[in-house]
Amino acid sequence: MTLGVASLKGRRFAGWLLFVSLAIHAPIALAATFYSKLPNSDFDNYYNIGTRPGRPYVDFPVEFPVATAQTFRTLAPLAGDRDRFGVNLVIVSFVADLAIAAALAWAWGIEAAACYAFVMIPLLDLFLLRSDLWSTALATAAAAAWRQERRAFAAIGFGVGAAFKLWPVTFLPLLLVRSKAGRRAVPIAVAIATGIAILGAWLWVAGPRGLYQVLTFRGAQGWEIESTVGAVWMLIDRSSMRIETGAWRIGTTSGPISILLFVLGAIPCMWMIWRGARTGHLGAGWSGGISALLVTSALLSPQYACWLTPASGIAWAEGDKRSAFLTGFAVFLTNLEWKSFGPLLRGEASGLALVLARNLLLAFIVFDVARMVARAPLTTELAASRAQV
Q: What is the pLDDT of residues 290-343, one digit of tens each?
A: 999 999 999 999 999 999 999 999 999 999 999 999 999 999 999 999 999 999
Is the alpha carbon torsion for 69, 27, 117, 151 positive or negative?
Answer: negative
Residue 3 is predicted with a pLDDT of 43
pLDDT 10s digits, 175-208: 998 877 656 666 778 888 888 888 888 888 887 7
Residue 382 vs residue 242, higher pLDDT: 242
**Across 2-16, 72-86, 247-261, 263-277, least confident range:** 2-16
Residue 184 is predicted with a pLDDT of 65
**Across 4-18, 130-144, 249-263, least confident range:** 4-18
Residue 128 vs residue 9, higher pLDDT: 128
Residue 2 is predicted with a pLDDT of 47
Report, as an integer, the average pLDDT of 281-285.
Answer: 97
The whole-model pTM stands at 0.93
Q: Are 324 and 366 a contacting pair, CB within 8 Å?
A: no
pLDDT at residue 1 is higher than 50: no
Residue 76 vs residue 384, higher pLDDT: 76
Q: How many residues does the chain have?
A: 389
204 CB-contact burial (10 Å; exposed 0-12 / middle 13-18 / buried 19+): exposed
Q: Are 215 and 162 a contacting pair, CB within 8 Å?
A: no
Residue 8 is predicted with a pLDDT of 57
pLDDT at residue 389 is higher than 60: no
